Amino acid sequence: MLLESLSVAALIVVLVCAVVRPFGRPEAVFAVPAAALVIVSGAIPLDDVRAEAGRLGPVIGFLAAVLVLAKLCADEGLFRACGTWMARWARHRPQRLLGAVFALASVITAALSLDATVVLLTPVVFATATRMGTRAKPHAYACAHLSNTASLLLPVSNLTNLLAFTATGLSFTRFALLMLLPWLVAIAVEYAVFRRFFAAELAAPVEDEGEREPVRLPLFAMGTVAATLVGFALASAAGIDPAWAAAAGALVMAVRALALRRTTPVAVVRSAALPFLAFVLALGIVVRAVLDNGLGDALGHVLPDGTALPALLGTAALAAVLANLINNLPAVLALAPLAAPSGPGAVLAVLIGVNLGPNLTYAGSLATLLWRRIIHHHDHEVRLKEFTVLGLLTVPLTLLAATSALWGSLRIIGT
């Protein structure tokens, strides 16, 4: 009982500090000592610590490479080009701008991870809306929702995907094929709700048309990203960890940037977000301690079995609730191993729940928390009531639609 209480207390401290970030300190400052505490107390044996580190190691390496790749693409001007394209495509019409944001945020989230959408695209969206003289709120909210919703497609799109991907045993290509229809359906539902919810803002007249500037495409960055995505599929088919393909893409971009003196070795290392990677590892150890000391058994009793549609819906709903209670990263760490015996379909249903569920609350995902800080940095108010109402309108519908689409994909494509 003592070890169970200690593990739960450590997890609560880690999650609260990740949300509040006392004194502005990184999440790892609190997560690493908490992990050390559960290890020293015996809440998790050293053999289990090594096993967890071995399981998360490739995932963390993959995440580091993708973060470096995204940052170097931003330095090449990829996101500035996206902003220019959005402004030209919108033709000073807010409705068209929302469509452009949905399209770009979906592609960027899928290819470069949700962090790229939150950290790199959201400021561009603010700048584009300001240049057009339109209200930024619908488009900024779209970045928040799509950083979660549009991360369903590829194993590289979200850290939760990487964790679920290892539990499914699927190839990169099979994973993408199974999640393609849920991805499209969820984005379509989000778009329909956004058009209705923000109808007044989208109908407001544009105050200043501004100047049109030509779109300068960073071809080298775009080519590297495309080659890296192909490399993910080829590596998976050859039985090679896709992290090597991500590392190769990041290396190519880094060598070019260093040769042209557009960055420094220190800046490249900093873009890998080492404190956040340490946080992920520490959180994994703490969650493993909580699971081994009672939570795993409790969740095992309520998690549905099988891949029939009612079971998939129940699994996705449970995952969404758990994500909003303890954050989506601990939720997938807890549920993916429990769902794995029912097959890849059940794990993918967990993924739908932990990716779509966080659109309901600020604390559902770290990406949403980071988005909130960026919003405040741009002096834009985020009202809790508005955020929650929008989540209540989108989350149940996207969960139902995406999980039903997954069930159909499993029947058509199989695992």
Cβ contact 339:304 at 8 Å = no
Q: What is the pTM of this model?
A: 0.85
Q: What pLDDT, on the 0 to 100 scale, is given for residue 91?
A: 78
Q: What pLDDT, on the 0 to 100 scale, is given for residue 212?
A: 60
Q: What pLDDT, on the 0 to 100 scale, is given for residue 211?
A: 53
Q: What pLDDT, on the 0 to 100 scale, is given for residue 8?
A: 85
SS3 of 39-101: HHCCCCCHHHHHHHHHHHHHHHHHHHHHHHHHHHHHHCCHHHHHHHHHHHHHCCCHHHHHHHH
As a whole number of angstroms, the distance between CA 375 and CA 123 comes to 9
Q: With a cut of 70, which residues of the chain have pLDDT below it?
A: 207-213, 215, 378-379
Cβ contact 261:75 at 8 Å = no
Q: What pLDDT, on the 0 to 100 scale, is given for residue 208?
A: 53
Instruction: Work out the burial of residue 382: count CB atoms within 10 Å of its CB; fewer than 13 is exposed, 13-18 middle, 19 or more buried.
Output: middle
The type of residue at 2 is L
Cα angle vertex 376, ends 375, 377, to 5°? 90
